[in-house]
């Protein structure tokens, strides 16, 4: 079998632009015979397909065209006596908002975010039965604290 070189424009053996997937960067010098193109996904994304492709003499690229998908964090968990008030999704950069049932109060952060490494930020908060933390006393709300200068004999 004899393979004839392909001519793309005026370049013999060129493959043409292999494209660049969304959420990816591409390293490539040119698209000539035996040139290599490398693909890397952005943080929080996983590459599927070929990370490197080579231009063959017949004008085609080796491997499969890559694509990048967001990292999945899975189920963020639900606290006992609590529920998920808002869940945008379980993939990279999505967040979840927790709240507690009546008579229970949230301790910990009410939000968590899906991180680039596939884990949720922080820990699942707790819902504790009891009295809500008290607000500051009302008589202090509208008062100002005057600045105080302190002198040290050491300075």
Question: Number of structural domains, the chain?
Answer: 2
pLDDT digits (tens, 9 = 90+) for 2-28: 333 434 444 456 899 999 999 999 998
Same domain, 15 and 53: yes
Write the DSSP symbol of residue 89. -
Tell whether 135 is covered by a domain: no
Q: What is the pLDDT of residue 61?
A: 96
Tell whether 143 is covered by a domain: no
What are residue 55's DSSP bridge partners? 61
Instruction: List, in order, residues 6 or more apart from 64 with CB less than 8 Å away.
Output: 49, 50
pTM surpassing 0.75?
Answer: no
Boundaries of domain holding 46: 7-70
pLDDT digits (tens, 9 = 90+) for 69-126: 999 999 999 999 999 988 888 999 999 999 999 999 999 999 999 999 999 999 999 9
């Amino acid at each position: 079998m004899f393979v004839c070189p392909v001519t793309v424009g005026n370049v013999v053996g060129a493959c043409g632009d292999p494209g660049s997937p969304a959420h990816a960067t591409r390293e490539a010098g040119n698209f000539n015979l035996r040139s290599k193109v490398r693909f890397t996904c952005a943080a929080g994304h996983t590459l599927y397909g070929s990370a490197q492709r080579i231009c063959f003499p017949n004008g085609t690229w080796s491997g499969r065209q890559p694509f990048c998908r967001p990292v999945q964090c899975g189920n963020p968990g639900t606290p006992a006596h609590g529920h998920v008030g808002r869940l945008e999704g379980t993939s990279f950069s999505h967040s979840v908002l927790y709240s507690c049932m009546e008579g229970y109060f949230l301790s910990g952060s009410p939000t968590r975010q899906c991180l680039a490494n596939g884990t949720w930020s922080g820990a699942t908060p707790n819902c504790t039965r009891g009295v809500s933390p008290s607000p500051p006393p009302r008589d202090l709300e509208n008062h100002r604290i005057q600045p105080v200068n302190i002198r040290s004999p050491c300075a």
